[in-house]
A and B are shown apart, each in its own frame.
Chain A
Amino acid sequence: TQLLEQSPQFLSIQEGENLTVYCNSSSVFSSLQWYRQEPGEGPVLLVTVVTGGEVKKLKRLTFQFGDARKDSSLHITAAQPGDTGLYLCAGAPIGDMRFGAGTRLTVKP
């Protein structure tokens, strides 16, 4: 089992739809990060959430850190084809960074 479980593994939607992807763990994290990786590129950091219950917004993306700091969610409003990519959550419960397996999002025009 992985330290960080992401769901769904794959998500294919039409442009304009809303979606939520999840990152869950049985461990407590001091912070969690979300990355987006496009095909053929390295991951790019989107946000870091630090405080339990924290909500951060990045344009149409809303990130939430669970109250118990064991889970996080990413909500995208009115998805666009440019949102297509692999979304990874990551955290360091005991010092070294661990990544989830990712959610592969495809937004069709």
Chain B
Amino acid sequence: DTAVSQTPKYLVTQMGNDKSIKCEQNLGHDTMYWYKQDSKKFLKIMFSYNNKELIINETVPNRFSPKSPDKAHLNLHINSLELGDSAVYFCASSQDSGGSPPKQYFGPGTRLTVT
């Protein structure tokens, strides 16, 4: 059984479009994350949600908005896509361990290409 799943795996779209990436975890974790991995493989956190509250919001454009309909899902909506948004986006989840950074489980990634 897949622990953290993302759809779609590949997404090709034109500049200016609005798109969404879905993420689901079946681990019962209380925190979910979105990461962006650029062409140089640098993995950077974008958002995290804990119990439906946004607790980290890095300096990402407000064109990006996370939506969490429930504890098991954290979707990423992107408006007015730009060429620089092309990257691989990873969803992850973890259970708060109350101390050390928790073990994060990553999804397989969504490769977004903006043309």
Contact = CB atoms under 8 A, between A and B. Distances in A.
A31 B45 contact: no
Interface in A32-67: 33, 37, 40-45, 48, 50
Interface stretch (A11-19, A20-28, A73-81, A94-102): A94-102
Given A41-B108, A44-B106, A96-B56, A50 B100 contact: yes
B22 to A, nearest CB: 15
Nearest to B57: A96
B41 A86 contact: yes
Nearest to B43: A99
B108 A101 contact: no
Interface string A84-109: 00101011100111110110100000
Size bin of chain B's contact surface: 20 to 34
Given A45-B105, A97-B33, 12 more contacts: A33-B101, A41-B108, A41-B109, A42-B92, A42-B106, A43-B90, A43-B106, A48-B101, A88-B43, A90-B43, A97-B45, A99-B35
Candidate in A50, A86, A96 with the most chain B CB atoms within 10 angstroms: A96
B40 A42 contact: no
Contacts of A101: 40-42
A102 B41 contact: yes
Contacts of B77: none
A32 to B, nearest CB: 9
Contact of B104 (A30, A50, A97, A104): A97
Interface in B59-93: 90, 92
Given A42-B108, A42-B109, A48 B43 contact: no
B41 A96 contact: no
A99 B42 contact: yes
B43 A43 contact: yes
